[in-house]
Every structure is written in C-alpha cells, then in structure tokens.
C-alpha cells in the first residue's frame, strides 16, 4: 500500500516537472529570439523571463533528483510519504508565489538575486518581500524533505556506514550500497546549502525590516548566495548520479554496482570539494582574500578527479566490450554522462582564474552550465522518469523511435550549446536582453541558439507526452 502512494506522488512530481520544464524552455527560446532581434520584448519582460527561467529550472531539476532518490530509497529504507507530499505542496506554492512576484510583480533581479539588487526597487514594492518569502517557503519544504530522508537513512545505517567508511577496511561486515552513499553525501551537501540560504534570507529580512538601519556587507552576501546557488546546482546533478549508480546496471542486465574503497573515497572527497568550490564565482571580486580564490580553483579542478576517475570510469568499465541491453533509459544515462563530462571541461577551463578574466559573465558561463543540465542532468532525470513509467505501464511507442528522438535531442542540444560556447569565446556578455551593435556576433548566434533550442524542445515534447500519459494512468489506476 505504501508503495502505491509513493508511486502516485512520484507520478505527480514527474508530470509537474515536465510541464514546468516545457514552460521554462519556451521562456528560454523567447529570450534567445529577443537577443537575435527576431522578436522584440521590453528589457523588463526579458529580465522577468530570465529570472523565472533560471529559478524554475534549478527548482524543478532539484526536486526531480529528490523525487527520484526518494522513490528508489524505498528499496533500502522506509521513507515518509507525508513529508514527500508536504514538499510537493510547498514547492508548488513556492513556485506560484515566485511566478507571481516575477510575472505580476515584475521582479527581475535574476535567479542569483545578488545583494543589494533586490532592494533597488524597479518593480512593484511588494514583489521583493514576496520573492524572498517564496524562496523561504521552497527552502523550508526542501529542508524538511532532506532532513527526513537523512533521518530514514540513519535509522538503518550509522553515520559512518552511511558515508561508507567501513569500506576502507578489508571485508567490511556491512555493505553500503552506492545509492545510499551518494544519496547521503548529496543530502548532507543539500542541507548545508539550504541552511546557507536560510541565513541569507534572515539577513535579507533583517535589512528589509530595519528600514535601512541595518545594512549588510555586500561581499558576505555574495559568498552566501553562491554557497547556496553553486552547491544546489551541483547537488542536483549528484542526485541524478545516485540514480545511475542504482539503475544503470539493472537496466543494462548486468550485475549490480558495488561500493569499493575508492568509490567511498571519491564520494567523501566530493563532499569537501563541493562545499569549497563555490569560491570560483568570486574570482573577479578582488576584495576576496587570495587564499580563498586559490582554494576555489583547486577545489574546482580536483572535484573532477572523483567524478571522472570513479563515476565516469565505472560507466566505461560497465559498458566497454560488454553485452548491454540498450534501451532509452540507459542510453539517456550514457549520453547524460558524456554531456556532464563535456560540461565539466568547459567548467574547469572557466574555473581557471587566468581564463576567468576573459570568460567571467560572458556566454561561456551559461554554455557550461546548460551543458551540465540540458545534455546532462536533465537526461539523468528523464531516464529515470522513462524507466519509472516503464515499470507500471506498457510503452506503446516502441523503441523504434529511440534513434530519432535521441538524434533530435542531440542535434538540438549540441547546436544550442555551440552557439553559447562560440559566443562566450567571442566575449559576448551574458544576461543582456539585446546586444550592442559593436558585438556583431551576438545576434546571429542567439538566433542559432533559438533554432536549435526549438529542435531540442521537440524531443522534450515527445518525452513529455509519452511519460505524462503513462504517469496519469498510474495516478488514476486503482492498484
């Protein structure tokens, strides 16, 4: 019975996420079309779309990861359905309030809402507190969910076991499944970054209610903002990886992946790196002490070691010369890993301080994080959604469409991303509603991005209709 409720709430999550994804993609395409000069939005409208697009995307792929691990975690420990449902309700309320503050209140401080911009009211006066409240509601719901899942894990495993420390010894008596290890590591990072968000919100509210008597330090606020933002964007990726460690071998018809000492080591190191890499967002703030800048570069560089050396290599070993039962879910996982690696290349290049001088806040930045997501984490999640739907329903669209769907996805995705990378190397700034005439390549590349983005959208629409149809069946089925 419990698992039926979980099945249904997961289906509700999936449909909600895919729907919001499509709306966000459309907002994104409209942005690129505006930059191309094909359509004409007022700058305010553009920046409203930009703010909404960014926050919605981060929000939905984060909850996608959470919903996925919540569902799979039931294999190992009993999870709390009520908390899951509360998180859903608070997420929906939060997103609704967020969209009200942006679309109706005209709030447009970008998804990073960098202090003191939210207080420079260029929109409805109530939009700023509403925005902050929306974020607070989201943070509360997600914090409750994360703490609940951690509690459930710790009901069965000790802290040391949940971090797989016993695997450093030979022949451990208790085996920590990789899924539990990665989920635990990710959830700990998520709790830390949500607490940072809570502190950030507290500082914002303190200044808001003090009527100008209490003024925050801009540097501290920026550190907190990026501690929260960078970490949550990376953690949602790791949640997707937890799913892969659990499902890839299963879908491929291969033996289950096990935790070894180097898997445990890699993921424990990842926790440290992920909490210190965020300094790379402040390279161009010369006010930041040089030590922190260097920590940022080193953490950003060496975070790629466990990622590449353990996860990616494990996928290589699992696939190379091995009889794999390929189907859409594990193909999506495989392509997603490739996208993640390539996004990582762009990221490490940008995380080099001497490169950052000429790349910071150009389109190179959205280039690398859209790679991580559009051809990385999104595919991890959609792979899970597809697999999940397959568990309980018949798939009428036979696998013959796989080739075409993946082809469309790749053509659209790669073209869309290339436009960003080339523009970034051409010094085109990010977050510009229109490009100055001196920067001639801005508009044509924006058009290229819009066209290929639309092709990518076609593939996503296929997934939306295919998966949502089946999820609706799951929600309304009696058993």
Partner 1 sequence: MYKNYIFSVVAFCLITIANGQTVSTDLKEEENIYEKIYDAPLNIVGESSLQFHELYSTNPLLLALNFTRCSGVCNPFLLQLKESLELKDNSYNVLVLSFDSRDDLKDMKRLAESLQLDNNSQWKFATTSKIEELNQSISFFPVWDSTKSQFDHDALLVGINNEGYITKKLIGIRQGHDLDLLIASVNNIFSPTYRLPNKNALFSCFNYDPTTGKNKPGLGLLFIALPALITILILIIISLFTKRNKLE
Partner 2 sequence: MHQSSILILFLSLAIIGIIVFTYIYLSSLHVENAEQGMSNPLKKRFWFILILFVILSIFASVTIPKSPYYLFADETPAKVIHVASMQFNFFMSEKAIDPKLPVGEAIEIPLRKMVEFRVTSLDVNHGFAIYNPQNRLITQTQAMPGYVNRLRYKFNEPGTYNIFCLEYCGMAHQVMNSSFIVK
Instruction: Write down the least CB distance from residue 152 to partner 1, Å.
Output: 9
Place of tokens 């960098």: 114
Residue pair 71/6 in contact (Cβ under 8 Å)? The answer is yes
Give the range of 55-63, 105-113, 117-125, 222-230 binding partner 1 by CB under 8 A.
Answer: 222-230
CA 448, CA 184: separation in Å to the nearest integer? 41
Residue pair 355/276 in contact (Cβ under 8 Å)? The answer is no
Footprint (CB under 8 A) of partner 2, residues 15-44: 43-44
3-state class (DSSP) for residue 362: strand
Which of residues 97, 164, 196, 460 is near partner 1 by CB under 8 A?
Answer: 196
Which of residues 86, 144, 406, 439 is near partner 2 by CB under 8 A?
Answer: 439
Footprint (CB under 8 A) of partner 2, residues 45-104: 47
Place of tokens 């659990």: 246
Count of residues making up the chain:
479
Contacted entry of partner 2, partner 1, none for residue 281, CB cut-off 5 to 8 Å set by kind: none
Cα 155 to Cα 149, 161, 179: the distances in Å are 10, 11, 16
Contacted entry of partner 1, partner 2, none for residue 400, CB cut-off 5 to 8 Å set by kind: none
Contacted entry of partner 2, partner 1, none for residue 214, CB cut-off 5 to 8 Å set by kind: partner 1
Footprint (CB under 8 A) of partner 2, residues 258-317: 262, 284-287, 290, 293-294, 297-298, 301-302, 304-305, 308-310, 313, 316-317
* Residue in 262, 268, 297 with CA at minimum distance from that of residue 283: 297
CA 16, CA 12: separation in Å to the nearest integer? 6
Asked whether position 341 contacts partner 2 by CB under 8 A, the answer is yes
Instruction: Write down the least CB distance from residue 83 to partner 1, Å.
Output: 14
* Residue in 346, 402, 391 with CA at minimum distance from that of residue 372: 346
Contacted entry of partner 1, partner 2, none for residue 434, CB cut-off 5 to 8 Å set by kind: partner 2
Which of residues 26, 86, 93, 114 is near partner 2 by CB under 8 A?
Answer: 114
Q: Tokens in use for 229? A: 């933002």
Residue pair 222/285 in contact (Cβ under 8 Å)? The answer is yes
Instruction: Give the single-character DSSP code of 255.
Output: P
Instruction: Give the single-character DSSP code of 424.
Output: H
Contacted entry of partner 2, partner 1, none for residue 213, CB cut-off 5 to 8 Å set by kind: partner 1
Which of residues 82, 171, 213, 479 is near partner 1 by CB under 8 A?
Answer: 213
Footprint (CB under 8 A) of partner 2, residues 406-435: 421-422, 424-427, 429-435
What is the DSSP secondary-structure string of 278-334? GGGGGTT-TTS-HHHHHHHHHHHHHTHHHIIIIIIHHHHHHHTTS-----HHHHHHH
> Which spans of this chain sit near partner 1 (rule: CB under 8 A)?
147, 150-151, 154-159, 161, 173-174, 188, 191-193, 195-196, 199, 206, 209-210, 213-217, 219-220, 223-224, 227, 275, 286-287, 289, 291
């Amino acid at each position: 019975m419990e698992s039926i409720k979980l099945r249904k709430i997961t289906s509700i999550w999936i449909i909600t996420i895919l729907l919001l994804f499509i709306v966000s993609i459309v907002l994104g395409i409209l942005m690129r079309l505006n930059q191309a000069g094909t359509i004409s939005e007022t700058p305010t409208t553009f920046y409203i779309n930009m703010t909404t697009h960014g926050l919605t995307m981060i929000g939905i792929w984060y909850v996608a990861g959470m919903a996925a691990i919540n569902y799979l975690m039931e294999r190992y420990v009993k999870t709390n359905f009520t908390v899951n449902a509360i998180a859903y309700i608070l997420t929906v309320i939060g997103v609704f309030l967020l969209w009200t503050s942006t679309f109706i209140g005209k709030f447009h401080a970008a998804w990073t809402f960098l202090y003191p911009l939210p207080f420079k009211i260029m929109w409805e006066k109530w939009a700023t507190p509403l925005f902050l409240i929306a974020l607070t509601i989201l943070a509360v719901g997600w914090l409750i969910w994360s703490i609940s899942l951690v509690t459930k894990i710790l009901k069965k495993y000790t802290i040391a076991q949940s971090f797989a420390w016993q695997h450093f010894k030979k022949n451990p008596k208790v085996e920590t499944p990789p899924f539990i290890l990665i989920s635990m590591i990710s959830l700990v990072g998520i709790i830390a970054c949500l607490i940072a968000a809570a502190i950030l919100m507290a500082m914002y509210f303190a200044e808001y209610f003090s009527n100008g008597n209490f003024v925050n330090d801009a540097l501290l606020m920026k550190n907190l903002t990026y501690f929260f933002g960078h970490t949550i964007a990376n953690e949602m990726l790791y949640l997707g990886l937890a799913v892969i460690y659990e499902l890839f071998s299963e879908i491929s018809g291969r033996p289950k992946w096990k935790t070894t000492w180097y898997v445990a080591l890699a993921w424990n190191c990842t926790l440290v790196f992920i909490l210190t890499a965020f300094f790379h967002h402040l390279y161009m703030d010369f006010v930041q002490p040089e030590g922190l800048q260097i920590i940022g570069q080193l953490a950003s560089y060496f975070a790629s070691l466990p990622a590449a050396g353990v996860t990616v290599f494990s996928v290589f070993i699992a696939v190379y010369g091995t009889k794999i039962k390929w189907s859409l879910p594990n193909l999506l996982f495989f392509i997603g890993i490739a996208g993640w690696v390539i996004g990582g290349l762009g990221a490490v290049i940008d995380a080099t301080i001497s490169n950052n001088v000429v790349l910071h806040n150009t389109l190179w930045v959205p280039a690398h994080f859209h790679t991580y997501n559009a051809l990385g984490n999104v595919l991890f999640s959609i792979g899970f959604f597809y697999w999940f739907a397959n568990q309980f329903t018949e798939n009428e669209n036979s696998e013959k469409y796989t080739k075409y769907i993946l082809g469309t996805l790749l053509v659209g995705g790669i073209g869309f991303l290339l436009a960003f990378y080339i523009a970034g190397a051409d010094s085109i700034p990010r977050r510009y509603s229109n490009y100055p005439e001196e920067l001639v390549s801005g508009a044509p590349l924006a058009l290229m991005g819009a066209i290929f983005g639309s092709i990518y959208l076609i593939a996503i629409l296929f997934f939306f209709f295919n998966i949502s149809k089946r999820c609706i069946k799951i929600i309304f089925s009696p058993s």
